[in-house]
Amino acid sequence: MPKFHTLKVKEVRRETPESVSIAFDVPAPLQADYTYQPGQYLTLKKDIKGEDVRRSYSICTSPSEEDLRVAVKWVKDGRFSTYANESLQVGDELDVMTPMGKFGVHISDKPDKQYVAFAAGSGITPVISIMKTVLEKEPSSHFTLFYGNKNFDSIIFREEIEALKNNYLEQVSVHHILSREALGSPLFKGRIDGQKCEAFSKVFFEAKAVDDYLLCGPEEMIFAVKDQLEASGVDKKRIHFELFTTAATKKAAPLVVPENAKNEDDSQITIIIDGDAIDFPLGAYSDNILDAALKQGADLPFACKGGVCCTCRAKVLEGEVEMHVNYALAPDEVEAGFVLTCQARPRTPKVVISFDEK
């Protein structure tokens, strides 16, 4: 079960005019709790102006580095990102959940793999963690990064990426794509989309020969590139992506309640967490199971409440639920009975859900 611990901020480093990276002091007794796989994220919790704000941020360091660090890009009117960019200081304390997430690749399972990553803006954070780990652990693998930004000044980790290029000359190719600055070739001007992906695949990589694709950035970029790769014959299983936000989290689609739906509290829900059980009744179209359980006083993990981050993942042991949206669970996880509790409503008289299942 993921847990929050209060950690001290060790460093706040300005990465670009609109982003900072934050390193945490992890005391020795908690080191094991914060071991992570490259590609995983931390959920940070802070009371901002009386509101309990929880947001997820991908770890940008590799597990072999000393620091545990995330990077936060400022979002207009964004509550946490504004606080992190404008107010957060060394020595401040934040509640930091232990690492979560399944975005990533199996490292070292084949010595000479081809990786291709498409990242935009803050989407570089999990990608650079995976990239550094691949370069350290797989000396015969090759990593190609296509990284989209507005201009040179907005490239997060620009110097670190340059250093990786220089240190791993034979293994790394990096291509910057800028939407508001010309780089000479029109191929590198604009936004990363399906057409750009197709054009890049004619010059820089052979679509079907790539072992793993990593996509992280705006939703439109991820799905345009994914569609293009699939149209080129790439197996879906080789395309890994992480969504940071979706149209749904920006403007949640309303829940459609069927006309003849009954909404009495006619389902009995049992939540299992840390071996304890909490029981309560719930209507089929009232609160989602996470919110209902929180109202009962259950201390459950969650962050986005929008079906994106996966922090509220749990397994249905008995009965059935329906998810409103799911942007986070892979088909095999759904098949195995995992659900996003922030999106789940009961569809049988009895539902048992466990947060203790891996």
Ligand X SMILES: Cc1cc2nc3c(=O)[nH]c(=O)nc-3n(C[C@H](O)[C@H](O)[C@H](O)COP(=O)(O)OP(=O)(O)OC[C@H]3O[C@@H](n4cnc5c(N)ncnc54)[C@H](O)[C@@H]3O)c2cc1C
Name the residues that contact ligand X, by CB under 6 A: 41, 55-58, 70-73, 75, 77-81, 101, 122, 125, 242, 244-245, 250, 304, 308-309
Question: Does residue 307 interact with ligand FES by CB under 6 A?
Answer: yes
Q: Do 192 and 148 touch, CB atoms closer than 8 A?
A: yes
| Binding site partner of 41, from ligand X, ligand FES, none, Cβ cut-off 5-8 A by kind | ligand X
Q: Work out the end-to-end distance of the chain between its first and last CA atoms, rounded to an integer number of angstroms.
A: 9
Question: Does residue 57 interact with ligand FES by CB under 6 A?
Answer: no
Question: Does residue 321 interact with ligand FES by CB under 6 A?
Answer: no
- For residue 102, the minimal CB distance to ligand FES (Å) is 12
E strands, 26-171, are 41-48, 51-58, 68-73, 93-97, 114-120, 142-149
Instruction: Between 38 and 307, name the residue whose CB sits nearer to ligand FES.
Output: 307
> What are the DSSP calls for 213-254, one per residue?
EEEEE-HHHHHHHHHHHHHTT--GGGEEEEES--HHHHSPPP
Q: Do 120 and 114 touch, CB atoms closer than 8 A?
A: no
- For residue 343, the minimal CB distance to ligand FES (Å) is 6
Instruction: Between 157 and 241, name the residue whose CB sits nearer to ligand FES.
Output: 241
Helical spans, DSSP H, in 104-147: 124-137
CA distance 355 to 275: 9
Chain CA centroid to CA 235, Å: 22
| Binding site partner of 171, from ligand X, ligand FES, none, Cβ cut-off 5-8 A by kind | none
CA distance 304 to 176: 30
Pick from 166, 162, 170, 163: nearest CA to 138: 170
| Binding site partner of 311, from ligand FES, ligand X, none, Cβ cut-off 5-8 A by kind | ligand FES
| Binding site partner of 120, from ligand X, ligand FES, none, Cβ cut-off 5-8 A by kind | none
Instruction: Between 70 and 156, name the residue whose CB sits nearer to ligand FES.
Output: 70
Answer for which of 158, 191, 305, 324 binds ligand FES (CB under 6 A) is 305
- For residue 250, the minimal CB distance to ligand X (Å) is 4
Instruction: Between 59 and 164, name the residue whose CB sits nearer to ligand X.
Output: 59
| Binding site partner of 353, from ligand X, ligand FES, none, Cβ cut-off 5-8 A by kind | none
DSSP label at residue 312: T
Chain CA centroid to CA 118, Å: 15
- For residue 214, the minimal CB distance to ligand X (Å) is 14
| Binding site partner of 342, from ligand X, ligand FES, none, Cβ cut-off 5-8 A by kind | ligand FES
Give the interface with ligand FES as residue ranges (CB under 6 A): 302-305, 307-312, 328, 340, 342
